[in-house]
Amino acid sequence: MSDTDDDADVAPAVDLPAKPLTADLVSSHISLLARTGNGLSHAYTRLEIHDEGLTDVNILESYPHLRYIDLSLNALDDVTALNSLEYLLALDLHSNHLRNIPAVLDKKKYLQHVNLARNKIERFEVTSWPLCAWLNLNENSLPSLALPDFSSLLHLEARSNVAKLVSPLMAPKLQKLYLGNNPLEKLSNIDLEGKPFLQLLHLRECGIKSLETGKGVMEGLRSLVYLNLRDNKIQSPTQIDHLQPLSRLKILVLMGNPIDQHPSYRLEIVHRLPKLERLDKDPVTDEEREEAEQYRLQLERENAEAAASGATVGEDDEGESQKEGDEEGD
């Protein structure tokens, strides 16, 4: 294909025509009559307008009683006007052109459910949404993410950003955390401290090489059942030892890491994490668990013999025997 053909396939950048939200459009999409926040009157509280090419919603400053807003699939690049909506409960702005979630939207004390996926967000300046339980920031351009005070957050998704750091993450009730497709590189770049209710941690394709965290962090993840580390860069079986304090871990996904090419891959993982019920796509059987125990005993004998002769086998990440094992796996 010629250079000319390549250029022909690329759509030229165009500025969308301004299309502000109007009172007429609001009136045809507003619904859900309810008592106002002060309890003295009634007002419509829900607004849903999809795929209208809206570029401006400043008129919403005149609708202070709105609680549920869905303006997804538009062309908004500024939502500062939402600052006037004191009683906002749910906000869906996915698939717009937002680059910033400004600080003027901070401390929305009733906001509980927020979808900001598939925008162009580079800055998230909100420090606290105290009742927010569900937040979706997937497919944006965040270089880092800090949530200093999200005390009610249960579910957080920030997949497919460019985040190298997720900290601080002050969300003590968090149950599900999805951070796949971010260049995090190591587990310690995620604030996992103080997450006793975290059950699911999804970190697929994050370039993770090290599973080491701060002192006591793993012990604090006492509810973690599912950990997805697929398609990362974990090489040595000894990295798995960092997961041993995860007392309730049942499902571990490691496929797509260099470690899965180790000649005794499953035995290495199972003997280090004997409580696992599933590794990758396959359940861990009783027979496999027994075989892993025999494998562990064999390694101990080999290490004892090697120690007696002045060498150590399979314990040090940098040891020659471990290097050979990794090379065979490659």
What single letter denotes the amino acid at residue 204?
Answer: R
Tell me the per-residue pLDDT of 96-107, one tens digit each, with 9 for 90 and over. 999 999 999 999
Q: Tokens standing for 304?
A: 């004892």
Mean residue pLDDT across the chain: 91
pLDDT tops 50 at residue 317: no
Q: Which stretches within 30-178 are classed as H helix?
A: none
**SS3 category, 219:** helix
Residue 308's pLDDT is: 87
Mean pLDDT of the region 221-242: 97
| Distance, CA of 27 to chain centre | 37
Helix or strand holding residue 217 (H, E): helix 217-220
Would you kindly state where each structural domain of the chain is located, as residue ranges? Answer: 18-110
What single letter denotes the amino acid at residue 168?
Answer: P
Q: pTM of the prediction?
A: 0.88
**SS3 category, 267:** helix
| Residue 40 CB partners (closer than 8 Å, separation 6+) | none
Distances (CA, A) of 230 to 11, 204, 223, 254, 308: 34, 5, 20, 5, 38
Residue 14's pLDDT is: 55
| Sign of the torsion angle spanned by Cα atoms 38, 41, 42, 47 | negative
Confidence band of 218 (pLDDT split at 50, 70, 90) = very high
Mean pLDDT of the region 25-32: 97
| Distance, CA of 323 to chain centre | 32
| Sign of the torsion angle spanned by Cα atoms 110, 115, 121, 122 | positive
Tell me the per-residue pLDDT of 41-93, one tens digit each, with 9 for 90 and over. 999 999 999 999 999 999 999 999 999 999 999 999 999 999 999 999 999 99
Q: Can the peptide bond before residue 17 be classed as cis, meaning omega within 30 degrees of 0?
A: no
Q: Would you identify the CATH topology of the domain 18-110?
A: 3.80.10
Question: pLDDT higher for 112 or 39?
Answer: 112
Cβ–Cβ < 8 Å for 252, 243: yes
